[in-house]
Structure 1
Amino acid sequence: MALVPESPSILAVIHRLAFVLAATALLVLAFACGSNEEANNSSQSTVAATSNKSVAFPSLPTSTAATTSCQAPSGTPPEVQVKSYPQRPPLTIDKSHQFIAHVYTTRGHFIIQLLPDLAPEHVNSFVFLARDKFFNGTTFHRVIPGFVAQGGDQTGRGNGGPGYSVPLEPSQEPFVRGIVGMARSNDPNSAGSQWFVTLGDAPNLNGSYTVFGKVVQGMEVVDCLSPRDPSVNPNAPPGDAIIDLAIQEIAPGG
């Protein structure tokens, strides 16, 4: 006789249904946990990848340093009025005043602050000569790049002067770039009308030559003066010329 499965009782059906529902619930919970873990792992992986990326810093700007552009020579300097004086002018400047020299050249305009407290005799002589138009038409006859630009000689050859000399007025002021000093021969007390602007630091001149001013504006004009050395080529074309050298005097409170 074949055994036919027996029909389950109601209680047995209820127990079996409860078991199926419990098993189903466990499967759903397990699936949900697995999905959350994958999401968490995916999130951590994204954060890690983002954290490992190299930081992009802004690019450094390229150099914007301006280069000096020299203008072509322009203007017509006056003819030199050759002058000579029998003696050094008396000391008449007021040291409480400011003295500003405006140098107008065929290369442009630059400004010198004169220093009467350091060198009253030299400033007095320079002001005297400038007011008498001694420098007008003269050239920068000696320009050595990186060293000095020298002028103030009416002959344009480096051997001229005003007919008198000014004794050395040494100071502790160093010859750095832009300082204005007075040229001289081997005799320290032989300064006359020739003056120079340092184009770079020149410590070898410290204490041996008189400092009587400094360029306070237009140093780029001085840098553009044509190089020239009469000791090497005395027949070179004339240097850049001074059209006018004017003195501005400012009283205290003025």
Structure 2
Amino acid sequence: MLKSLPLVLIGLSLAACAPTMPAVTRTYTLQPNGTLALTADSGAAGTAATAAGTGAATSQTGTAAPASSTATDAAATGTAPAPVTTPDATTPAATTPAATGTAAMTGFTAVPYLSAARVTRFTGSQNVIDPAKTYRAVMKTAKGDVVLELNAKAAPVAVNNFVFLALNHFYDGTRFHRVIEGFVAQGGDPQSSDPALQAQWGTGGPGYNFAAEVNNGLRFDKAGVLGMARAASLDSQGSQFYITLAPADFLSGQYTVFGQVLSGQDVVNGLTRTEGAGAGQPDLLNTVQIYVSQ
């Protein structure tokens, strides 16, 4: 699949510019609280991407397998996927997330991880949620924690996918590779954990695609809305997600809304912009912890 794909939304189009970066070597160390900390950096920061416009910056062009019903089929049958652990996998100290200590987690319990090491490639997602229950996610970023309410009733497939990947440490050490002022903060590309692959950031996925849930009644009508990124077709969702920095209602009905920020919008607002004037290096997403209502 092509790395950049022009996508038209409400008369607006955007072709993502590929970022460049010199070769660097970065070392991360697992901390007692389960987060990954940057402990060594042997190279200089690269140049950030520049925006070609302000349209569908949430588009995702992936290297995943052709769109199919693999993800939903796996969820429906309960068939376990065939994961491939990446060479840079990091083994956590425990299989259960540490408590966050935030009031937003009152009445919620941590969901144990499914894997001990980071896994970034699957043939499909596994059914891991009960849509009748309430799920929350805590993103531990370099700038602080962000608590997300996941709407499993309105978007059960997207929420199940996000939870499944998070429970396999898929998002650990990735970056918010695309943050556009007044628009969105996007992450979820497994390649963004590797500085040597910066030219391909924004094109990666989990190895499968699944269909969007665009008619669930939820809208991108405010800051803090959590949505799924995709390429041109509605069945091209994978692992990439974004959080709105401002209302973006023109995306409603075209991209899946599957949650919203409960606390930490100030952290999202403070993420380093990667496009436009003053662009800097993307911030780390250390880990994602999943919680379910008791």
- Give me the TM-score of the superposition, normalised by structure 1: 0.64
Q: Give how far 1:137 is off.
A: 0.1
Paired with 1:110 and 1:119, the residues of 2 have a C-alpha distance of 20
Aligned equivalents of 1:166 and 1:115: distance in 2? 17
CA RMSD of superposed structures (Å): 2.2
Q: TM-score, normalised by structure 2?
A: 0.55
The residue type equivalent to 1:179 in the other structure is V
Change (3 A) 1:136 1:174: same
Pick closer, same or farther for the CA change 1:137–1:77 going to 2, 3 Å. farther
Equivalent-residue separation in structure 1 for 2:209 and 2:247 (angstroms): 26
Could you say if the C-alpha distance between residues 243 and 77 of structure 1 is closer, same or farther in structure 2, counting changes exceeding 3 Å? farther
Aligned length: 173
Change (3 A) 1:124 1:166: same
What is the CA distance between 1:97 and its match in structure 2? 1.2
Letter in 1 for 2:122: Y
Q: Contact between 2:206 and 2:239, CA under 8 Å: does it hold in 1?
A: yes
Q: What aligned pairs does 1:195-234 form with structure 2 within 5 A after superposition?
A: 195-229=241-275
Task: Judging by fraction of residues, say which structure has more strand.
Answer: 2
Within 5 Å, give how 1:1-254 maps onto structure 2. 76=37, 81=118, 83-87=120-124, 89-156=125-192, 157-170=201-214, 171-175=216-220, 176-229=222-275, 238-250=281-293, 254=294
Secondary structure at 2:164 match in 1 = helix
Partner residue, 2:195: none
Kindly, what percent of the aligned residue pairs are identical? 39
Higher share of residues assigned helix: 1
CA apart distance, 1:238: 3.9
Check whether the contact 1:140–1:239 (CA below 8 A) recurs between aligned residues: yes
Cα contact 2:128–2:164 (8 A) shared by 1: no
Does the aligned pair in 2 maintain the 1:77–1:136 contact within 8 Å?
no
- In 2, the alpha carbon distance for the partners of 1:193 and 1:182 equals 8
Cα distance in structure 1, aligned partners of 2:177 and 2:237: 17
Letter in 2 for 1:166: F
Contact 2:174 2:190 in 1 (8 A): yes
The Cα shift of 1:155 comes to 1.4
Q: Deviations over 1:124-164 (max 9, x none)?
A: 01000000000010000000011000000011210000001
Residue 207 of structure 1 aligns to which amino acid in structure 2?
Answer: G
Amino acid at match of 1:213: G
Alignment partner of 2:147: what SS?
Answer: strand
Q: Distance in 1 between matches of 2:36 and 2:264?
A: 17
Change in 2 beyond 3 A, CA 1:77/1:98 = farther
| Alignment partners' CA distance in 2, 1:146 and 1:190 | 25
Which amino acid letter does the alignment assign opposite residue 213 of structure 2? E
Q: Distance in 1 between matches of 2:127 and 2:190?
A: 23
Change (3 A) 1:77 1:133: farther
Query: Distance in 2 between the 1:123 and 1:137 partners?
Result: 21
Task: Give 1 or 2 for the bigger CA radius of gyration.
Answer: 1
Q: Work out whether residues 272 and 280 of structure 2, in 8 Å CA contact, stay in contact via their aligned partners in 1.
A: no
Contact 2:178 2:187 in 1 (8 A): yes
Deviation at 1:118, TM superposition (A): 0.9
CA contact (8 A) 2:120 2:206 kept: yes
* CA displacement at 1:203 relative to structure 2: 1.1
CA distance in 1, matches of 2:119, 2:262: 29
What's the secondary structure of 2:159's corresponding residue?
Answer: helix
